[in-house]
């Protein structure tokens, strides 16, 4: 089964092979949904499970996400044609005053790998920019990242700004110093401590 080959190529971090196999499926007129869900997305779910089990680490997760992205780029023009539905839009960024982006980038790639439309605002993003992006893109989830304890108050300011703007998007937060207790304290809708659980959280919040 060629789609299983795509799945395996993602798990072996072989971007060139993922691209080649994905293109072959497209050329053969295969079901795009199946290539996306059974080939790319399920492979990233497997990567997430292996990461959670301690079998894979961040560098491997990044390599798998990069390989998956190669396949996604081929499918993207077809996804926009209504061939398959996006799972919803996630606006993501590192909060004001914080320039760390490795964790954010990983969550962004994993979200994209899970079929979400991702709007990445980058680093050092102020509350107004998150609010505007959530409005402009009709976001279902706004994901905030911080790696410094000193920038955690910017998370609270952003969560408040989103709620005050009357935006229905769910807010999720993460980053090394961030905890579930802090998420509860600032009334964020969710907290995750790694990229795979951020994807699970987004899925759960959207289904709710």
User: Measuring CA to CA, how many Å separate 46 from each of 7, 43, 53?
Assistant: 9, 5, 10
Element (H, E) at 119: strand 117-120
Please state which of the ranges 96-100, 106-110, 119-123, 179-183 shows the lowest mean pLDDT: 106-110
Q: What is the mean pLDDT of residues 45-60?
A: 92
Q: What whole-number distance in Å separates Cα of residue 25 and Cα of residue 9? A: 14
Class of domain 2-83: mainly alpha
Threshold 0.85, pTM exceeds: no
What are the domain boundaries of the chain? 2-83, 89-207
Does domain 89-207 sit in CATH 3.40.50.280? Answer: yes
Residue 195 has pLDDT above 70, yes or no: yes
Query: pLDDT band for position 83 (50/70/90)?
Result: very low
Q: How does the average pLDDT of the chain come out, rounded?
A: 92
Contact 157, 128 (CB under 8 A): no
């Amino acid at each position: 089964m060629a789609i299983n080959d795509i799945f395996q190529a993602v798990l072996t971090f072989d971007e060139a092979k993922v691209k080649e196999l994905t293109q072959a499926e497209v050329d053969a007129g295969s079901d795009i949904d199946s290539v996306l869900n059974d080939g790319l997305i399920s492979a990233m779910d497997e990567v997430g499970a292996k990461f959670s089990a301690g079998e894979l680490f961040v560098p491997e997760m990044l390599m798998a996400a990069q390989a998956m992205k190669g396949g996604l780029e081929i499918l993207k023009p077809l996804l926009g044609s209504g061939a398959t539905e996006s799972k919803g839009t996630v606006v993501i960024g590192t909060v004001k005053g914080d320039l760390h982006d490795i964790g954010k980038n990983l969550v962004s790639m994993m979200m994209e790998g899970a079929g979400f439309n991702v709007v990445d605002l980058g680093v050092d993003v102020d509350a107004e920019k998150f609010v505007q992006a959530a409005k402009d893109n009709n976001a279902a989830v706004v994901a905030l990242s911080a790696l410094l304890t000193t920038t955690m108050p910017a998370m609270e300011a952003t969560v408040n700004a989103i709620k005050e703007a009357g935006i229905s998007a769910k807010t999720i937060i993460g980053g090394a110093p961030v905890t579930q207790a802090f998420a509860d304290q600032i009334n964020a809708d969710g907290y995750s401590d790694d990229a795979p659980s951020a994807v699970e959280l987004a899925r759960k919040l959207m289904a709710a």
